[in-house]
Amino acid sequence: MSNRKRASMREGPLASLFRSTENDPAAPAPARAADEQIAQQRVEQPQAAAPAPVQAQPVHHPEPTAADLNNGQPLILVVGVGGAGVNAVDRMVEANVAGVEFIAINTDVQSLQKSTATRTLHIGEEVTRGLGSGSDPEVGRRAAMDDHDTIKAAIRGADMVFVAVGAGGGTGTGAAPVVARIARDAGALVVGIVTRPFAFEGTRRSKAADAGVEALGAEVDTLITVPNNRLLEVLERDTSMVDAFRVADDVLRQGVQGISDLVTLPGLINLDFADVRTIMTDAGSALLGIGMGSGERRALDAAEAAISSPLLETSVEGARSILLSVTGGDDIALWEVNEAAKVVAEAAHPDANIIFGAMVDKNLGDQVWVTVVATGYANERAARRARRDVAAALGEPSGEVRVERRRETRSGSDDLDVPEFLSGR
C-alpha cells in the first residue's frame, strides 16, 4: 500500500524504505534505414553473365556496457554471494530498492532458481555439480576462480559494487573475496557488507566467519560488518529464528540502500558519486548505524538511535569520515534535517569529514530514518594503501593485472551554502 509505514526492527523485518520506481519509458524505436540512393552511375559492361548483387555487410557494433545502458548515471551493482547473500538480494528486490542492479551468485542451483535477482550466476559446476559447497570456504573460492571470466563479464562497467554476504558458510565466505577482487581490479568502488553469524550457529561457523571477514576486508575499499548477535538486543525474546534471519537480511538491505539512495534518488540535499567515493575509497572497516524516530522529536531520536545503535561495535567518536543519510516523509522540514545532522556531527571526531544527503519518501508518513556509515579509524586508510603498495610491488597473488582506478572530478557544488552543522569545520 502506498501509505504503509516502515516497521521498526523490534516489530520484525525492516519495512520497505522506498516506493518502487516508475516503469522505465519505452525504448526509442530503432533508427530507420538510410534512404535508397537517388542516382546510380551506369557503367557499360561487355555482354556477360550478370554479376551477383552486392550483399550489404552487417555492421558490427561493440556490445554496450552496463554503464552505457544506465543513461549516464553511476552504475551500482549489488552482488549477493552464497545463500545469505542471495537472500539479502531477494530482500532488496522485494523492498523495491531503486537505482541498482542485482546479481545473485551461488554454487547451489536451487537457491538461484528461487532468486528474484536481475541476473543469476551459477558458479563451480565442475567443483560442486550444482549441489552447494558443503560449508567449505575453499570449495567456494575454487568455484569463483573457475568462473572468473563469467563474473568479470557480469560486473563490467560498474562504478560501484556492493558484495553482500553472510560470513561463516562455504560459498559466501570463500567466493566473496574473489568477487570483490575482480570488481576492484575492474576499477569499481567496492563495498563489502557482511553479517557475522549468531552465537547459536556454533563456534566452527564463527571461526570460519572471522577468516572470511578478514579475507574480504583485504579486497574491498570499505567493509561494513553487521554482528547478528547484536540484533538480539533489539528483537523481542519470542522472535523466531526464521524471523531473526529475515531481520538480518533486511539490515543488509538497509545498509546498501542507505548508501545507494544518496546518489540515485533526488532529495532535499543531493550528493554525487564523487562524494561517496571520497568517503569510501580505501576506507577500511566501517560502522553502520540505523535509527528511526517519530513524533515531535523524530529527527533527533532517529539520529541518537543511529549513533548509539547496537550494530555499532565501537563509538563514532573515532571516525574521521562519515556518510550520513536522513530520510523522512513529505512534511519533513529542513531544520529537522539540520538538527539530526548536528547530533551526528557533535558525536564524531572534531575534524571529521561529514558528507550527507536528505531525501523525501512520502510513504514514511511521520517517520524519519537516519543511516550513518562511519569510516577512517586510526589512520586505517593510509595503512591500507601502504599494504596495497607493498602487495603491488611484490606482485598480486591472484596473477591478475591491476587496472588503474578511474578518477572523478567534482564540479558544480563548491558554491553551495554550508549547512549549519558543518560550519566551523
pLDDT digits (tens, 9 = 90+) for 355-364: 888 888 888 9
Across the range 325-345, mean pLDDT stands at: 91
Claim to verify: residue 245 and residue 372 sit in the same structural domain: no
Claim to verify: residue 311 and residue 260 sit in the same structural domain: no
The burial class, CB within 10 Å (0-12 / 13-18 / 19+), for 161 is buried
CA 363 to chain centre: 23
197 within domain boundaries = yes
Claim to verify: residue 207 and residue 314 sit in the same structural domain: no
Identify the band that residue 217 occupies on the pLDDT scale cut at 50, 70 and 90: very high
Inform me whether the pLDDT recorded for 26 exceeds 70: no
Identify the band that residue 49 occupies on the pLDDT scale cut at 50, 70 and 90: low
Q: Which of 28-37, 98-107, 126-135, 268-277 is modeled with the greatest confidence?
A: 98-107
Among the candidates 239, 265, 291, a domain finishes at 265
Claim to verify: residue 224 and residue 342 sit in the same structural domain: no
Stretch (H or E) spanning 196? strand 189-196
Query: Left (φ > 0), alpha (ψ -120 to 50) or beta: where does 402 sit?
Result: beta
26 within domain boundaries = no
Q: Identify the weakest region by mean pLDDT among 4-8, 51-55, 381-385.
A: 4-8
Residue 52 has a pLDDT of 54
Return the CATH number at 303.
3.30.1330.20
Return the CATH number at 200.
3.40.50.1440
CA 140/CA 209 separation, integer angstroms: 13
Residue 417 has a pLDDT of 40
67 within domain boundaries = no
Identify the band that residue 252 occupies on the pLDDT scale cut at 50, 70 and 90: confident
Helices (H) and strands (E) in the chain, counts: 12, 10
The burial class, CB within 10 Å (0-12 / 13-18 / 19+), for 126 is exposed
Residue 378 has a pLDDT of 62
Count how many domains the chain has.
2
Residue 121 has a pLDDT of 94
Claim to verify: residue 287 and residue 251 sit in the same structural domain: no
Residue 54 has a pLDDT of 45
Claim to verify: residue 257 and residue 355 sit in the same structural domain: no
Among the candidates 213, 232, 265, a domain finishes at 265
Residue 373 has a pLDDT of 86
**Strand 284-293 relative to strand 368-375: parallel, antiparallel, unpaired?**
antiparallel
Residue 141 has a pLDDT of 93
What tens digit of pLDDT does each residue of 119-165 get?
Answer: 999 998 888 887 777 788 899 999 999 999 999 999 999 999 999 99
Claim to verify: residue 344 and residue 389 sit in the same structural domain: yes
**Between residues 291 and 44, the one the model is more confident about:** 291
Residue 34 has a pLDDT of 44
Inform me whether the pLDDT recorded for 207 exceeds 90: yes
Claim to verify: residue 238 and residue 91 sit in the same structural domain: yes
DSSP state of 108: B
Share of the chain above pLDDT 70, in %: 71
Claim to verify: residue 105 and residue 229 sit in the same structural domain: yes
Inform me whether the pLDDT recorded for 277 exceeds 60: yes
3 within domain boundaries = no
Among the candidates 208, 230, 265, a domain finishes at 265
The burial class, CB within 10 Å (0-12 / 13-18 / 19+), for 378 is exposed
Inform me whether the pLDDT recorded for 399 exceeds 60: no
Identify the band that residue 198 occupies on the pLDDT scale cut at 50, 70 and 90: confident
399 within domain boundaries = yes
Across the range 6-24, mean pLDDT stands at: 38
The burial class, CB within 10 Å (0-12 / 13-18 / 19+), for 87 is buried
97 lies in which domain range? 73-265
Claim to verify: residue 233 and residue 91 sit in the same structural domain: yes
Q: Identify the weakest region by mean pLDDT among 186-195, 281-290, 367-376, 388-397.
A: 388-397
Residue in 6, 4, 91, 73 with CA at minimum distance from that of residue 327: 6
Identify the band that residue 213 occupies on the pLDDT scale cut at 50, 70 and 90: very high
Across the range 203-210, mean pLDDT stands at: 92
31 within domain boundaries = no
CA distances to 67, 107, 167, 228, 245 from 201, in Å = 40, 21, 11, 11, 11
Residue 392 has a pLDDT of 52
277 within domain boundaries = no
What tens digit of pLDDT does each residue of 388-398 get?
Answer: 555 555 454 44
CA 339/CA 33 separation, integer angstroms: 59
Claim to verify: residue 296 and residue 242 sit in the same structural domain: no
Claim to verify: residue 291 and residue 245 sit in the same structural domain: no
Quick check: helix, strand or coil at residue 104? Answer: strand
CA 386 to chain centre: 25
206 within domain boundaries = yes
Task: Give ∠ CA 25-28-32 in degrees, rounded to 5.
Answer: 170
CA 222/CA 164 separation, integer angstroms: 12
Identify the band that residue 382 occupies on the pLDDT scale cut at 50, 70 and 90: low
Across the range 90-116, mean pLDDT stands at: 91
Residue 388 has a pLDDT of 54
